[in-house]
Structure 1
Amino acid sequence: MTYRQLGDAVGYSEGAIKNAALAPETSPSMQKAIELYLETIELKNKLQASENFKQHLKDFLQE
Structure 2
Amino acid sequence: MTSEELKQFCKERNLTYKELGELIGFGEGAVKNAISTEKISFQMAHAINMLKKIFELEAKLEKAEAIKKDFKAWINEN
Letter of the 1:22 partner, please give it.
Answer: S
- Aligned residue in 2 for 1:61: 75
Can you list the C-alpha shifts for 1:4-63, whole angstroms capped at 9, x where unaligned? 000000000000000011122310010000000011011011011101101101101111
Give the counterpart letter for 1:13 in structure 2: G
How many residue pairs match? The answer is: 63
Contiguous gaps of at least 5 residues in structure 1:
none
Provide the residue aligned with 2:8 in structure 1: none
1:37 is matched with 51
SS in 2 for 1:12: coil
Cα distance in 2 for residues equivalent to 1:23 and 1:53: 45
Q: TM-score, normalised by structure 2?
A: 0.77
5+ residue gaps, structure 2, are: 1-14
Higher RCO structure, 1 or 2 (CA under 8 Å, sep 6+)? 2
Distance of 1:12 and 1:2 partners within structure 2? 13
Pairwise CA RMSD: 0.8
User: Taking structure 1 as the reference length, what is the TM-score of the superposition?
Assistant: 0.94
Q: Which residue of 2 aligns with 1:46?
A: 60
